[in-house]
Amino acid sequence: MITIVNYGMGNLGSMLNMFKRVGVQACIESDPVVLQDAERFVLPGVGAFDTAMQRIDGIPGLRDVLEHKALVEKAPVLGVCLGMQLLTRSSEEGELPGLGWIPGATHRFPKQESLKVPHMGWNIALPTASKASNSLTVNAGPEPRYYFVHSYFVKVDDPAHSLMRTYYGIDFDSAIGRDNIFGVQFHPEKSHRFGVQLLKNFAEL
């Protein structure tokens, strides 16, 4: 069972429908008591970094449960879009600290005349040589394409935590991972067969 965490910011319905398409049981949940029994969970996100952290911290017990599941029980975690950025320690979009589960930070795309921000649409995300990438990117294909919508990008401290890289004016980490914790900047629920494969891989971790 995949538990999609509902903290008030995320494309929950589309994510749930995509898991159904994959043939994986999934549910949407916000109650920390129920989340204690989650086998693996998805942390979605659409919107501003600080607002998301305020929402998570605003639900009594939610952050404690999520951190216990991820860091102590080692339950598989997948952060999506803003949810991936929340896995880092900070973001140039806001002032609040992130979850800090994967060493790295979130930055705004540099200003370039030819670069439109937000980065929106389909782009290639190539798996890196990191061994950790094998589990999430297996069967991704030679040039896997995913759907992006974001104005900020993640840079991890340790290249071993970069699972996929994408070029948009600069090279950035479009998928990251550390032990049982993973994040993708793109929207797998909007990425057709490529997203289906990635979510299937996550469900089998």
187 given a catalytic annotation: yes
Q: Which of 107, 119, 150, 187 is catalytic?
A: 187
Q: In this structure, are residues 190 and 147 in contact, taking their beta carbons and an 8 Å threshold? A: yes
Q: Which of 67, 189, 192, 204 is catalytic?
A: 189
Q: Which of 81, 93, 107, 161 is catalytic?
A: 81
Residues catalogued as catalytic: 81, 187, 189
